[in-house]
Every structure is written in C-alpha cells, then in structure tokens.
Amino acid sequence: MTQPRTLYEKIWDAHVVERRSDGTCLIFIDRHLVHEVTSPQAFAGLRATGRTVRRPDLTLAVPDHNVPTTARLDAAGNKLPITDPESAAQLAALETNAPDFGIRYIDAVAPEQGIVHVVGPEQGFSLPGATIVCGDSHTACHGGIGALAFGIGTSEVEHVLATQTLLLQPAKTMEVRVEGEVGPGVSAKDIILHITGTIGAAGGTGHVIEYTGSAIRALSIEGRLTISNMAIEGGARAGLIAPDETTFAYLKGRPYAPKGADWDAAVAYWKSLATDPGSTYDKVVVIDAADIAPSVTWGTSPEDVVPITGVVPDPASFADPSKQTAAAKSLAYMGLEPGMRMQDVSVENIFIGSCTNSRIEDMRAAAAVIKGRKKAANVKWAIVVPGSGLVKRQAEAEGLDRIFIEAGLEWREPGCSACLAMNPDKVPAGERCASTSNRNFVGRQGPGARTHLVSPAMAAAAAVTGKLTDVRELML
Amino acid sequence: MTPLEKVAGRAIPLGLKNVDTDVIIPAHWLKTTSREGMGRGAFESLRADPDNLFDRPEYKGAPILIAGDNFGCGSSREHAAWALGDLGIRVVIAPSYSDIFSGNAVKNGILPVVLPQAAIDRLMEVAATDPIHVDLDTQTVTTPFQDRFTFEIDPFRKMCLLEGLDEISLTEKSGAAIDAYEKTLDAERPWMRPAV
C-alpha cells in the first residue's frame, strides 16, 4: 500500500522532472503568468543570452500593475496615452516582448484584461493540480482552485521562460483547519485576516498551507481565492484548497479549461488529489469559525489584526521584545494610541479592489452595504476597482456600478491600482484608507499612507460612516 | 553573478523584524526595465530620517546588514535584492527570511545567513563599533572579539554562491529529462494543454 499523501505532496510528486541527491527537485511548471513589472529584466536576459521561451503556449502575459484605472480609450475608441513615462515604458516593453517571444498576450484594452490573479482562474488558464508561477507573491491566490501556485523573483521568471522548470526544495506542510459556521457579516477576508493574526506574518514560512474544514468548504471559489491569496501574508509561499464540485462548477466552460472527454478525464484526476485520510502535516492549526469577527488591521504588518469591536493594543502587551518595538513604530506611523477603539478611527479614503477582493462576489458584498446610502462627507476619495473587464461587465449588468456611483464612489477600470500605488491611484501621506487589499506595509498605498485592511463589506461600511465600522450594525 | 566566499567589513545594525520588500524598495522604484541603480531607492522610508543608519559615514558601503525575524517578507520583487546589491551589501544576517527573498538574494550573489536571536543581539553590539567577518566556505561569522557563530546553508545554494553559478545553464543540462517529462505529461494528462 502506498503511503498516504497530502494534496501538496501529490501535486509535487506529479511535477518532479529530476530529483537531486540533496532533495532539491527540478519541478515542471504548467502555467506561467507574466505582468509588466517583474518581467522586462527577464526578457532582457533571454535576449542577452540568445535564449527563447521553451513553452510559449503555457505562458500568458497581461498588464495590470501600472495601468491607470481611468478610461483607457477615448470616445472614438483610440487608446489614450499613459501619462507616466516610466509606466508607459514598462507597458510598452510587455507589449513588445509578448509577440517577440510568441507568448499569449491580453492587451490593456482587451475585454478580458484584469489583475493577473483574477484573469487566470476566470479564463480557466489556472487549473487544479497545476503548478502555476508568476513574478508576484500573490500568485498564492490560485491555490484557491487547488493549484500549487507561488510567487517568484525575476531570475526565476527568466528560468521558467527558458526551461519551463524551477529548481526547488520541497516545502513543509501545514494545515489550517477552520471548522464551523461563520457569523453574519463575516467573509472570507475576515477568515484570512483572523488566520494571519493567529499564526503571525512568519507562521507559515517554509510551509505550504492547506486550508481545510467546513468553513472553508462552504466558501465559493471567489472566497477561496481570497483566502489562498493571503497565504503569503502568513509567510507561506503557497496556499491550497482541495478542488471539489464547487471548483469544477466554477471552471467548466471557461475558455482555456478542458472540454468534452478531456473535461471528464480532468475532473477524475482532480478528484484524486484530495489529501488522503491518515496523512500528516508538519504543523496543524485549528480555528473555530465562531471565534471570527469582522476584522481590521491596526498596524503595519498583516499580522496586526483585531476584531472591529476591539481596541488598538498596547505595545507593552506583546511578550516578544522585538514585537514591542515593531508595534510602537507601527502605532507612531499609523497615528494611533493604545486603547483607542477601532470603531473610533475615521478614514478619508476607501479602496475596494486588488487581487484579494475584486471579484464579482466582492462587488456584490460592497454594493449590498452601500445600496441606498451615501458616502460620508469626510471621505475624500473612494474608488471601486473591479478585478477584470469581465467582472466589470458582470457588475454593470447587475446594476452594481450605479449603486456605487449614486452613493458617491468612483467606478474604475480593472488593475492593481491602490493596492500598491504604482499607477496614479495613491493614498495621500498621513491619511487613512480602509482597503480591501492585502498589505498594510509602510508606504504601500503611497508614501506615508496609513492602511487598514478590511473586507469589501467593511470597506463599504466605512465609506458610508466615514470611520471604521462594524458592518453588522448596518445589516440590522 | 559575482562569486562570494569571504566578506569582511562594517555591518549595518538595522535589527528590525518583519522588514518587508516594500520597505527595502518601494513600488515606485519598480518602474524600470533595468536592474541597475536601485540603491538610490533602498530603504527610502527609513532614510527619510536624517539620522538613519544607512547614511551614517561609518556605514557607507557596508557589505553586511543585520536584521530581525522574517526579513524580506511580502512582495516577491527581486528589486529588493538588486537594491541591496547596489548599496554594496553582500551578506544579510537575520534569524529568518521570507522564502522568496532568500532565493532572490542567492540568485544575486547575496548570502542570507541565518543565526539565532542571541547571536544577532551580540553582532548588533559589535556592529556599533567594529567590523564583522563572514566566511561561506567554513560557514562562520566571527568578530574581532573572538565571537564565532556557525550557520547552516543549503549545499546547492552554497555551491551557487561560491562558484557564482548561472542556474539556467545548469538546468539546460537537464534538457533531455525535461523533454521526457513533457512527453509523459502529454500522454497521461493531455488535457493539461490549454484548450485554445
């Protein structure tokens, strides 16, 4: 009888090209997603060494980080120029590199364009059981459909382009099991914020986290992508959720997904990937879903999480001296005092978007809270950035854009936007933003910007009250 | 890649934990198509303080950086390693690193040394006044005060650093194995090829 294996171990074993004596393996990469920021130096490297792309058919490029979220076409349908010359140069480089190396390319004005981690699953390019890489740490996202997906540096981008493989050490395995039912107003984002607060920003370092349990199984694919997206915020390069009927129903019929008899064979294979009974993980964390409240961050690390009903912690309350120092620095940067109620913190900016929370379900959750209400007077800037052109169109078909616009929020074109502020969407220095993105790092949303990570419903609640708000109070 | 065996010199005693790659190099410095000149943007938010460590004369061009737990967490941007390299840093010493950063560092000839917090605390003390020596071959960190700390490193990474190896050339030697894998994959899971 074969040894019981975890989902991670099955995917890993199925991709070993060569195993070295020290345990390092040459791993085959099934899908390579490319964007404009971390690829130009890799393509330059290929040119310098006269190399080609080994499997252009497995490589998909889409611009997302730099693209403006304002209109990209004029009334006559002509492309509007990108005003920032550096962003324009990076976008132009991808537009040239993709056809030069024969790889698939979705243009910035194509209807399918969007954030690479929204586009991959949406197009059925990302599949369960596949190894997926991208020069972006939020590649972990695709683990939500059961792919072993992780971020890589630019040298590795070049390595994958040239060889369709990576040299990797096997990771340790970690199970995060969330059992039970979450309460009203608690979304996938709150679950992953709670997990990150529980395990810490380095809790999953060296591990691949498999999210299991009834609360995870109950999530839609959108919710699962949100969870796995932030595996990296807990230190794990990849997250995984076993593919099931929810996954198959989501993928069936998508453009790049298998069709006909191929589909049936694929589903049979995907069903075989679930972790075997009797398998063991190197680390196990169990969380009771009933303990999870709508959550919010107070500091500059994604582990700095409290329930919205909580208060800003006292740095002295942390046992670890280096965490005490870090917390004190965070509070100084964030302009917060220990003991302040999170619900008393006012916000001037709202960002609903990013690869964490820009899918149709996120748009619906935010719109449900906004509907019939108005943006608070103290909120100066509130933008809603759908994750892709397809999400945007779907939301518009459902009338969600009107709900946002009538409440005083801006409805934008798809892209990474204010999650990392590489395009013109930035939070001004010293101002606060209730943001559905994934990182509250110093300067992440612009130099001096103060980020509070929240769910789409919580961001919407903050937009209408002008302060961090328990969304459950608006759901009565 | 420049080979690395021994590095000696001043060490910047940063010491902070969870230093993310947005702090090492903010996103607006990523709008480039080159790997060069990234040092100018390195640690921009910390260097906004006129009394910051990086710009003190004694640490100008220091080849070693000492940090806290989970160094290089967050974004996968290799620009963080390029920025450190451009500052002249060849060795980082910390209790732990993010997985992506430590890989990026090695690929750019930067050695991520892992030592326990107690050793870090001692090296932070020494770094305030004196140089530190790092020897990759013997896997040791030493000080002028007879401190001697040994560290572990993955043998493959050690070889790559010592020899300044180009990983792509190395993998290309496995071309036949990759061909064979692709054939098997096409036979066993033909549906893995994108449908269009």
What are the helix and strand counts (H, E) for chain B?
Answer: 8, 8
Domain assignment present for residue B133? The answer is yes
Q: Give the closest-approach CA distance of A297 to chain B in angstroms.
A: 16
Task: Decide if domain A7-168 falls under CATH 3.30.499.10.
Answer: yes
Give the model confidence (pLDDT) of A255-286 as tens digits.
999 999 999 999 999 999 999 999 999 999 99
CB contact under 8 A, A41 and B35: yes
Facing A256 at nearest CB: one of B44, B99, B196: B196
Domain assignment present for residue B191? The answer is no
Tell me, what's the ipTM? Answer: 0.95
How many angstroms separate the Cα of A320 from the Cα of each of A324, A326, A327, A472? Answer: 6, 10, 10, 34
Q: How confident is the model at residue B2 (pLDDT cuts 50, 70, 90)?
A: confident
Residues of chain A found within 8 Å of residue B97, distances taken between Cβ atoms: 205
Give the total number of structural domains in chain B.
1
Give the model confidence (pLDDT) of B73-101 as tens digits.
999 999 999 999 999 999 999 999 999 99
Give the model confidence (pLDDT) of A328-346 as tens digits.
999 999 999 999 999 999 9
The domains of chain A are located at 7-168, 310-474
Residues of chain B found within 8 Å of residue A40, distances taken between Cβ atoms: 32-34
Predicted confidence (pLDDT) at residue A311 exceeds the cutoff of 80: yes
Q: How confident is the model at residue B166 (pLDDT cuts 50, 70, 90)?
A: confident
Domain assignment present for residue B96? The answer is yes
Average predicted confidence (pLDDT) for chain A: 97
Domain assignment present for residue B185? The answer is no
Predicted confidence (pLDDT) at residue A102 exceeds the cutoff of 70: yes
CB contact under 8 A, B156 and A24: yes
pLDDT at A1: 55
Q: How confident is the model at residue A392 (pLDDT cuts 50, 70, 90)?
A: very high
Domain assignment present for residue B123? The answer is yes
Measured between CB atoms, does B26 come within 8 Å of chain A?
A: yes
User: Residue range A287-308: average pLDDT?
Assistant: 98
* CATH number for the domain formed by residue range(s) A310-474: 3.30.499.10
CB contact under 8 A, B178 and A164: yes
Domain assignment present for residue B10? The answer is yes
User: Residue range A293-312: average pLDDT?
Assistant: 98
Q: Give the closest-approach CA distance of B127 to chain A in angstroms.
A: 18
On whether A25 is known to bind a ligand per the annotation, the reply is no
Domain assignment present for residue B93? The answer is yes
CATH code of the domain containing B59: 3.20.19.10
The token duo for A209 is 């986290």
Main-chain dihedrals φ then ψ at residue A384, nearest 5 degrees = -115, 120
Q: Which of B168, B174, B186 to mutate to test the interface with A (most CBs of A within 10 A)?
A: B168
Facing B196 at nearest CB: one of A40, A206, A255: A255
Predicted confidence (pLDDT) at residue A398 exceeds the cutoff of 70: yes
Burial (CB < 10 A; 0-12, 13-18, 19+), residue A43, is buried
Residue of chain A whose alpha carbon sits nearest to that of B174: A18
Predicted confidence (pLDDT) at residue A208 exceeds the cutoff of 70: yes
d(CA B127, CA A352): 44
Domain assignment present for residue B30? The answer is yes
User: Residue range A123-144: average pLDDT?
Assistant: 98
Give the model confidence (pLDDT) of A412-455 as tens digits.
999 999 999 999 999 999 999 999 999 999 999 999 999 999 99
Q: Which of B1, B78, B86 to mutate to test the interface with A (most CBs of A within 10 A)?
A: B78
Q: Supply the angle between the helices B155-163 and B99-107 in degrees, to the nearest 10.
A: 30
Facing A237 at nearest CB: one of B28, B99, B177: B99
Predicted confidence (pLDDT) at residue B47 exceeds the cutoff of 70: yes
